[in-house]
Amino acid sequence: MNKPRFMTVVRHIIEEEKMHPEATGELSRLLADFTLAAKVISLEVNKAGLVDILGFTGDNNVHGEKVKKLDMFAHDMLIKAMDHGGHFCVMASEEEEDIIHIPSPYKVGKYVLLFDPLDGSSNIDVNISIGTIFSIYKRVSPPGKPGTVQDVLQQGMHQIAAGYVVYGSSTILVYSTGHGVHGFTLDPSFGEFLLSHQNIQIPKKSKIYSINEGNYKYWHPGLKKYIKYLQEEDTTTERPYSSRYVGSMVADIHRSLLYGGIFMYPADSRSPMGKLRLMYECNPMAYIIEAAGGRASNGKQRILELKPKSLHERTPVFIGSEYDVKMVEEFIAREEIEENILIKES
């Protein structure tokens, strides 16, 4: 990766748009609005230990999970920053059961925004990295009217931009508009995201796997065999792999993007669709990883091809270095072929 120029994320977005004649500059403006929200959320996340913002609001979110104050702060901040710029016809958030309409008198725009305001929030109190994830589409319903559920429930392959912010030892924004993946590190001294990772390419093969092994007994037999395979010694395929699991999707995938690796949150016998959400977690992350030369699937099909049925639906996810994701898909497929043969023979 060549040495990044002294460039802010807004300047970078504008330069990116110059390379695409069809661009209107509107994407630059809405991404600039997002960075404002990201800076404010970063400020709160980094001082959460100092003010009485930790602990529970006493409310539950749409999934019945205890909501941390920071979750709601991030959710409200993103809506406040994004709802009046005239860019969006509708929004959706992990923290809201239904789609979020643009309040009058604000202009209704041509884009759609989905976001997970603070992923990994269960880690807030123990100072583990957490993140914000966003996904942007063009509307499919007629212009000038409020957006609809159809605008929101689009296949991930139709995203026009996606990204995340990881609030860790530093705050880093990673985004793509489909032409490369770029990272910007927040300089808190003057509140600007500066280009720090230009045109990120994920290593094609890795030596790191990332999964919650506490669920081992509930996994698909093919996945069990794959994990055991990774733990065997074989220098020609750089095994055994190292295991790294933060328990915060944005942190685990950010590491995989930079170092290479495969992050997995599979279905299991207790959770037939896994845990992670398709629309505002897996689709945007899959968009980023594929734009960086990696692969993202549900074990059988590209995440970006999945046809969503509901806003908060979950999907199994295997995402990261292309070689490694293809390998786990092969283990799962081989096991199912063997199972089918056994069923036929029985």
Q: 285 near 320, Cβ under 8 Å? A: no
Contact stretch for ligand P6P (CB under 6 A) within 184-192, 243-251, 289-297, 299-307: 243-251
Residue 122 lies near ligand P6P (rule: CB under 6 A): yes
Residue type, 59: D
DSSP letters of 38-65? HHHHHHHHHHTTTTTT-SEEEEE-TTSP
Please report, as residue ranges, which positions from 38 to 97 form the binding site for ligand P6P (by CB under 6 A): none
Comparing CB distances to ligand P6P, the nearer of 154 and 256 is 256
Comparing CB distances to ligand P6P, the nearer of 255 and 275 is 275
The C-alpha atoms of residue 206 and residue 260 are separated, in whole angstroms, by 5
Secondary structure (3-state) at 171? strand
Comparing CB distances to ligand P6P, the nearer of 122 and 237 is 122
Q: 200 near 260, Cβ under 8 Å? A: no
What minimum distance in Å lies between the beta carbon of 80 and ligand P6P?
24
- Which of 178, 240, 247, 293 is the binder for ligand P6P (CB under 6 A)? 247
The C-alpha atoms of residue 220 and residue 16 are separated, in whole angstroms, by 43
Whole-angstrom CA distances from 57 to 21, 37, 93 are 47, 21, 18
Residue 177 lies near ligand P6P (rule: CB under 6 A): no
What minimum distance in Å lies between the beta carbon of 74 and ligand P6P?
14
Comparing CB distances to ligand P6P, the nearer of 119 and 324 is 119
Pairing of strands 208-210, 242-243: parallel
What minimum distance in Å lies between the beta carbon of 165 and ligand P6P?
13
> Which of 169, 164, 166, 239 is CA-nearest to residue 208?
239
What minimum distance in Å lies between the beta carbon of 87 and ligand P6P?
27
Residue 249 lies near ligand P6P (rule: CB under 6 A): yes
Please report, as residue ranges, which positions from 200 to 229 form the binding site for ligand P6P (by CB under 6 A): 212
Q: Which parts of this chain interact with ligand P6P (CB under 6 A)?
A: 119-120, 122, 212, 247-249, 265, 275
